[in-house]
């Protein structure tokens, strides 16, 4: 969308949150993103969960699972915890209790390790502390937990902490959506890393539109974490 066409936008920028304002700026930079803004609208992210710990628990549950299956397991886990999603409650439920709601042995071990590391201070989830940490530092600290890799932390950064410049190049939906939107073969993770450079400092918003492109152009449903 050339700069001279900015007045024809269907949305004004005044009063918008950072993600929506970023989407309009990206639409000015890229005709592809301008088309996605028209087709999908401005970003609408689900509200963050009540605690950072509960957000990480949900991200772990959703790792490598289809959205509906992950949502069902997550709902059973919440029921087993009595909606008390805390490190203490997870450890009290135990590995067997987590396995009983449908979690794999590896994910149950991940949640147990996360809970222990939060309680002993190895992983600090204080909102004030996290607000002072750069994205790379958050990734480094959280990936010290067994079974938590970059994807889980990227989802946490984008949807819980609302960081604007996270680029989950390893996410299949982002890779697929990028290829469909830009009409190129689906890029590899390494290729997508470089393809995100022109969109700094708003790569989280570009990722959101890649997920939408996968839905719009291929009918590929993304899990609820990608909203």
State the residue for tokens 């990206």.
26
Choosing from 17, 136, 171, 197, which is the catalytic residue? 171
Instruction: State how far the Cα of 7 lies from the Cα of 225, in Å rounded to an integer.
Output: 33
Backbone angles phi, psi at 205, to 5 degrees: -70, -40
113 has catalytic annotation: no
Instruction: State how far the Cα of 97 lies from the Cα of 78, in Å rounded to an integer.
Output: 12
What is the set of active-site residues? 171
């Amino acid at each position: 969308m050339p700069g001279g066409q900015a007045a024809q936008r269907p949305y004004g920028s005044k009063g918008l949150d950072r993600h929506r304002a970023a989407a309009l700026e990206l639409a000015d930079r890229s005709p592809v993103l301008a088309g996605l803004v028209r087709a999908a609208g401005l970003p609408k992210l689900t509200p963050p969960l009540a605690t950072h710990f509960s957000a990480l628990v949900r991200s772990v549950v959703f790792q490598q699972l289809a959205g509906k299956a992950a949502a069902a397991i997550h709902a059973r886990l919440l029921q087993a915890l009595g909606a008390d999603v805390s490190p203490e409650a997870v450890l009290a439920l135990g590995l067997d209790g987590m396995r009983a709601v449908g979690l794999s042995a590896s994910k149950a071990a991940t949640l147990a390790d996360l809970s222990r590391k939060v309680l002993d201070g190895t992983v600090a989830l204080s909102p004030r502390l996290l607000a002072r940490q750069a994205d790379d530092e958050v990734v480094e600290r959280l990936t010290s937990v067994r079974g938590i890799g970059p994807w889980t932390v990227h989802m946490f950064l984008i949807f819980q902490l609302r960081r604007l410049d996270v680029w989950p190049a390893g996410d299949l939906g982002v890779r697929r959506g990028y290829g469909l939107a830009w009409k190129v073969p689906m890029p590899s993770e390494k290729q997508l890393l470089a393809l995100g450079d022109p969109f700094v400092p708003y790569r989280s918003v570009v990722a959101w539109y890649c997920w939408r492109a996968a839905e719009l152009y291929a009918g590929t449903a993304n899990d609820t974490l990608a909203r």
